[in-house]
Amino acid sequence: MSYLMGIDVGTTSTRAVLIDEKGNLVASEATEYPLHTPQPGWAEQNPEDWWQATINSVRQVIAKAGIRPEEIAGLGLSGQMHGSVFLDANNQVIRPAILWCDQRTAAQCDWITETVGRDTIVRITCNPVLTGFTAPKIIWLRDNEPDNFARVRKVLLPKDYIRFRLTGTFATEVSDASGTSLLDVPNRRWSEELMQALGLPMDWLPEVYESPEVSARISRDGAEATGLAEGTPVVGGGGDQAAGAVGNGIVEPGIVSSTIGTSGVVFAYAEEPFTDPELRTHTFCHAVPGKWHVMGVVLSAGGSLRWLRDALGYTGYEQINKEAAEAPAGCEGLIFLPYLTGERTPYPDPYARGVFFGLSLRHDKRHMIRAVMEGAAYAHRDSFEILDAMGVPISHVRISGGGARSPLWRQIMADVTGREHVTINVDEGPAYGVALLAGVGTGIYPDVPSACHTAIRVEQRILPDEKRHAMYTEFYKQVYRPLYPALKSLYAVNAGIVVKYLE
């Protein structure tokens, strides 16, 4: 029996999973680390924290499974997208990594768009340049930390830094690279045209692979640190959303995923790289070779509930879910906009912030908790509405992520969107998906769809309640959707005042 390992470098923790050839989970482990916000709108992490978490998670999984490292046939890597790790000539990290949810680069996005041209950017990358993406982070470094910028010799995404520490190889793959604003998404390769226009050298970028391709092998140093066997193949892997989609079986038309993690994502498979005319969704390369995907992104879905949990002093989610269930559906008119770290879909606005609307003396923390859950569901509905307008087929929705472990939240998602949601037999997220990709790259499975068909099956169906859906639709159309346009100008004014009085 051979085994497959997946490692996911997430925003809150690094998770390692081990599966057997049939896709059965053998062992898993997650190791947490902090996220730093040195200024409002900023989000950074220390790449060394990712590495130490990787070492611990991998060693724990091998010990739990009780296997020999040589029995692991291959390994896949996933991670939070868009983050920037800057390395110097000695391959040392220059500064903390700037993360996907960081909003400091609005001016740099404008500069790139004006310098290159919006039509050119969309033609090459299938997306606008957004604050979370990687290219504006590089330009921000040039503009604000010129001494650090002068030292840069390589720019890596989070999972690809871990690949380097494991293997000594600089490599990435198409799904994660799609979120850099530097990849030619239709042709699945780095864009020399964009790099030249931005004045950046091509050799700063790692070689780009398809997701199931073997990109490197565990080095002696990587083996000594983690307990893995030297020479173990490491496939390209995937950005967390594409990898999570593989782990959910979103590898053919009609099956859509809805994920409630720190962020929230509605993810649909695509045969061609087509885009929303209004550019409200992202079009990226899929982890399935030669395929693409369309996704809408809510920056603070589960992250909003985690914020409220911490703000109210809860230590876990069991009690918070129990109290939310005591509040009525619709929360008697209390609406939450989940824009705690800005927003992506349908409003690419770094200045947007969270709002409770409709508070009254009748509302207590139970209503607030449920309103946060409903707010994230309304935000997901925004993406479903766009996919419908684009003509994307949706036969059923597979729900996953930490928030999906809550039966209440699953029902709210079905009721708000009016769509049947289903759960599947595995819920290990992106780490599970890249373990399957490792199986494809090492020949255990012939292709990605075959891997998914072998390992994944539907378990529970959650049907929407028609009465609640009708009520939620009224709140969504008449209150939730009009709120952002009504507040948009105030968000920018508010952000300006905050910056003005920063100490």
| Residues with catalytic function | 240
Cα(404)–Cα(308) distance, integer angstroms: 17
Give the alpha-carbon dihedral of 228, 232, 236, 240, to 10 degrees: -30
Going by the DSSP 8-state scheme, the letter that residue 405 receives in this structure is G
Which residue, among 92, 118, 394, 436, has the nearest Cα to 269 in the 3D structure? 394
Alpha helices in 326-406 (DSSP H): 365-390
Burial of 358 (0-12, 13-18, 19+ CB in 10 A): middle
Strand order of the β-sheet with 394-400 is 282-285, 292-298, 264-270, 254-260, 394-400, 421-424, 458-462
Q: What are phi and psi of 343, to 5 degrees?
A: -145, 160
For the chain, percent helix, then strand, then coil, each to nearest 5? Answer: 45, 25, 35
- H helix or E strand, kind and range, residue 437: helix 429-441
Cα(172)–Cα(191) distance, integer angstroms: 14
Alpha helices in 66-213 (DSSP H): 106-116, 118-125, 134-144, 146-151, 158-167, 174-177, 192-198
Token duo for residue 291: 């395929």
In the structure, how many helices (H) and strands (E) does the chain have?
18, 24
Q: Indicate the pairing of strand 335-337 with strand 355-357.
A: antiparallel
Cα(37)–Cα(123) distance, integer angstroms: 34
- H helix or E strand, kind and range, residue 433: helix 429-441
Q: What are phi and psi of 234, to 5 degrees?
A: -120, 115
Cα(160)–Cα(78) distance, integer angstroms: 9
Which amino acid does the sequence have at 305? L
Cα(222)–Cα(194) distance, integer angstroms: 34
Cα(22)–Cα(457) distance, integer angstroms: 12
Which residue, among 246, 283, 279, 266, has the nearest Cα to 441 in the 3D structure? 246
Token duo for residue 122: 């969309």
Which residue, among 356, 243, 349, 266, has the nearest Cα to 304 in the 3D structure? 356
Cα(56)–Cα(106) distance, integer angstroms: 37
Cα(236)–Cα(230) distance, integer angstroms: 17
